[in-house]
Amino acid sequence: MKLAYVDTSCLVAIALGESGSASLAARLQRFDRLFSSNLLEAELRSALAREGIAEDPGALTSWITWVYPNRPLTVEFKRALPAGRLKGAELWHIACALSLSLDEKQLSFLTLDRPQREAAAGLGFPT
């Protein structure tokens, strides 16, 4: 089974029709299951509102299995921080991916954010 954690940057690119978004959407569809924190929904809706797009992103978010951590992610934060200079939301997404308790080599981490991608790769996630 092909699994991936998807960062907001991917869905924003698709929603805004950025260059390469069609191939990105096709890549996402090759995975059997996509995961993300529900922070993605807030970030996606915020990006669409900033661009003046009133469209509901439900079609994009319907691809996602939501990750709702029910405990502090302190262990995951401590593990992720040495991997790179991460902003809060970037750290949250990587920590949520780590919290899935899957072998990192079996869970791809998809992002268009270079520092986040480098940190995820440094932690063993295919990117």
104 pLDDT higher than 80? no
pLDDT of amino acid 58: 87
CA-CA-CA-CA torsion sign (42, 48, 51, 53) = negative
CATH class of the domain defined by 3-122: alpha beta
pLDDT of amino acid 46: 96
Per-residue pLDDT tens over the stretch 30-46:
999 999 999 999 999 99
Q: What is the pTM of this model?
A: 0.93
From edge to edge, which strands make up the β-sheet containing 3-6?
Answer: 64-67, 33-37, 3-6, 107-110
Per-residue pLDDT tens over the stretch 45-102:
999 999 999 888 888 899 899 999 999 999 999 999 999 999 999 999 999 999 997 7
